[in-house]
């Protein structure tokens, strides 16, 4: 089982802090969603053309992989489409320069159910990015988010886009919470498309959703992993701790250590 954490969970840490913690806690990699005050992954100083070789050498020396370069490129944003496509392709360029295999894009704005979206229109935009990224050796992963947390919609999107370097980032939280999908149903529907996994946990407290440390909520985390193991999934399990957006959550050192301990306990 390969473990990583998203840097969304440690918004005040330096790149050095991130690397050191990943090594000290026995992680296999990291997922980049900003470093410090720089949220745009294409503008992280350590990933610039002049610094990329040194950063890649450091990661290799530490035995760490950057599992995904995670963007906020919303493929449904028709009002800023040129900017969205430009940035998504820039993410592909940076991923190539850094030897990162995956970038994330989004098909909808929020995690919850939304209104109907035009699947064919969004698929065409994802396809354009994927065609740009393919010769760079980069995969374009669409997250199970909003309208596309419904696995049926995700299958339609991927089939319509029809590029071999398009895959799915399965955030286990959203299909379960917002579409009542069981892990069995989700994996049966999109399992062969899954290239990266976000792990979260939560509970409803007085009808309000509350994120918890993994293992302290009631999401079927263990079953999700068992279902993925059954189909031979060999990608990363990434903790997406939403500290950047909610400073009331536990500090990253606590959350990251707890996650590593919980996940490793599942394979004993």
- 260 Cβ partners below 8 Å, 6+ apart? 3, 25, 26, 27
Q: Provide the 10 A C-beta neighbour count for residue 41.
A: 27
Give yes or no for residue 115 having a pLDDT over 90.
no
Token digits of residue 76? 């449904």
pTM score, whole prediction: 0.97
pLDDT digits (tens, 9 = 90+) for 93-107: 999 999 999 999 999
Cα–Cα nearest to 22, from 41, 9, 36: 9
Q: How confident is the model at residue 267 (pLDDT cuts 50, 70, 90)?
A: confident
**Is the CB of residue 5 less than 8 Å from the CB of residue 237?**
no
What is the separation of C-alpha 159 from the centre of its chain, rounded to a whole number of angstroms? 20
Token digits of residue 32? 């980049």
CA distance 67 to 101: 7
Report CA-CA distances (Å) from 104 to 97, 127, 188. 16, 13, 22
User: Which residue in this structure is represented by tokens 């189909």?
Assistant: 231
What is the separation of C-alpha 57 from the centre of its chain, rounded to a whole number of angstroms? 24
- 199 Cβ partners below 8 Å, 6+ apart? 172, 214, 221, 224, 237, 238, 239, 240, 259, 263
Q: Provide the 10 A C-beta neighbour count for residue 85.
A: 18
Of 52-61, 70-79, 105-114, minimum mean pLDDT range = 105-114
pLDDT digits (tens, 9 = 90+) for 158-177: 999 999 999 999 999 999 99
Q: Provide the 10 A C-beta neighbour count for residue 47.
A: 23
Token digits of residue 184? 């069995």
Residue 112 has a pLDDT of: 87
pLDDT digits (tens, 9 = 90+) for 163-217: 999 999 999 999 999 999 999 999 999 999 999 999 999 999 998 999 999 999 9
**How high does pLDDT run on average in the chain?**
97
Angle between helices 119-133 and 151-161 (to 10 degrees): 50
Residue 268 has a pLDDT of: 67
What values do phi and psi take at 140, rounded to 5?
Answer: -110, 115
CA distance 15 to 45: 10
Q: What percent of the chain has pLDDT over 90?
A: 97
DSSP secondary structure letters along 33-78: S-BTTB--GGG-GGGSTTTHHHHHHHHHHHT-EEEEEEEEEETT-G
pLDDT digits (tens, 9 = 90+) for 122-164: 999 999 999 999 999 999 999 999 999 999 999 999 999 999 9
Q: Can you point out the beta strands (E) in 28-186?
A: 29-32, 65-74, 102-106, 139-143, 166-171
Token digits of residue 204? 């409803």
């Amino acid at each position: 089982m390969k473990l990583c954490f998203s840097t969304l969970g440690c918004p005040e840490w330096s790149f050095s802090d991130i690397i050191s913690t990943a090594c000290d806690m026995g992680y296999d990699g990291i997922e980049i969603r900003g470093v410090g005050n720089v949220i745009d992954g294409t503008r992280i100083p350590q990933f610039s053309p002049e610094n990329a070789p040194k950063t890649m050498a450091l990661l290799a020396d530490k035995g760490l992989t950057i599992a995904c370069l995670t963007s906020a490129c919303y493929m449904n944003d028709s009002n800023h489409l040129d900017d969205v496509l430009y940035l998504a392709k820039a993410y592909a360029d940076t991923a190539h320069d850094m030897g990162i295999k995956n970038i994330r894009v989004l098909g909808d704005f929020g995690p919850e159910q939304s209104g109907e979206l035009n699947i064919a229109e969004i698929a065409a935009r994802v396809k354009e990015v994927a065609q740009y990224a393919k010769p760079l050796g980069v995969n374009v992963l669409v997250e199970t988010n909003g309208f596309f947390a419904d696995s049926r919609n995700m299958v339609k999107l991927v089939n319509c886009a029809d590029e071999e370097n398009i895959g799915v980032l399965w955030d286990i939280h959203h299909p379960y919470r917002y579409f009542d999908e069981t892990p069995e149903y989700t994996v049966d529907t999109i399992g062969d498309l899954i290239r990266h996994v976000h792990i979260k946990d939560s509970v409803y407290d007085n009808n309000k959703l509350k994120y918890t440390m993994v293992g302290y909520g009631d999401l079927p985390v263990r079953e999700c992993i068992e279902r993925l193991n059954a189909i031979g999934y060999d990608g990363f399990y990434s903790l997406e701790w939403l500290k950047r957006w909610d400073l009331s959550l536990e500090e990253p050192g606590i959350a990251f250590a707890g996650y590593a301990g919980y996940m490793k306990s599942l394979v004993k």
